[in-house]
């Protein structure tokens, strides 16, 4: 995440300085910018599984959900979908990304299962319950009404 912020700051600084350079220089800058954006996205994709596990170990399911959804977004941006029949030049250059995407695909069910099991526990804080509910809503794409119904059902049993 810090790498992306750094790129955005450098890009903003580059826009505010001096008059426009020659078209060749602009093309070079644009290709460098694309390269750095791609590198930052790949770096994030490589770091996310470890960060998800850390969040899971500390019972921060909403944070884990945010990271999982970021991973899904990056997978789409980098065109790494395994269901796609298109050739991915990024995957050809970095075959390890296929393993990272496969490893991250299992997180959805794990986060969802842990979030729902937390809802059954009566000794957790209201904040933890709210985060677990938000996590379940985001992962299941459900409404607040459905999440509250799931919560009541979990507490009933």
Residue 18 lies in a domain: no
The string of DSSP codes covering the chain is -HHHHHHHHHHHHHHHSSS---HHHHHHHHHHHHHHHHHHHHHHHHHHHHHHHHHHHTT-HHHHHHHHHHHHHHHHHTT--TT--S--HHHHH-THHHHHHHHHHTHHHHHHHHHHHHHH-SSS-HHHHHHHHHHHHHHHT--HHHHHHHHHHHHH-
Residue 145 belongs to domain spanning: 30-156
- How many domains, in total, are found in the chain? 1
pLDDT at 31 over 70: yes
**CATH, residue 104:** 1.20.58
Q: What percent of the chain has pLDDT over 90?
A: 48
pLDDT at 42 over 70: yes
- The residue with greater pLDDT, 42 or 28, is 42
pLDDT at 52 over 70: yes
Residue 91 lies in a domain: yes
User: What is the predicted pLDDT for the residue at 140?
Assistant: 95
User: What is the predicted pLDDT for the residue at 96?
Assistant: 85
User: What is the predicted pLDDT for the residue at 38?
Assistant: 87
Residue 1 lies in a domain: no
Residue 16 lies in a domain: no
User: pLDDT category, 4, cuts 50, 70, 90?
Assistant: low
């Amino acid at each position: 995440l810090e790498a992306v912020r750094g790129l955005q700051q450098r890009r903003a600084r580059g826009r505010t300085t001096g008059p426009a350079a020659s078209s060749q220089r602009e093309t070079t800058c644009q290709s460098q910018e694309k390269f750095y954006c791609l590198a930052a996205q790949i770096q994030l994709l490589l770091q996310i599984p470890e960060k998800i596990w850390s969040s899971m170990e500390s019972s921060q399911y909403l944070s884990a959900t945010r990271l999982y959804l970021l991973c899904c977004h990056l997978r789409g941006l980098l065109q790494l979908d395994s269901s796609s029949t298109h050739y991915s030049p990024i995957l050809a250059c970095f075959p390890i990304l296929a393993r990272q995407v496969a490893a991250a695909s299992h997180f959805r069910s794990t986060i969802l299962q842990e979030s729902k099991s937390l809802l059954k526990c009566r000794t957790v804080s209201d904040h933890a319950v709210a985060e677990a509910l938000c996590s379940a809503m985001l992962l299941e794409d459900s409404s607040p009404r459905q999440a509250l119904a799931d919560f009541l059902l979990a507490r009933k049993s």
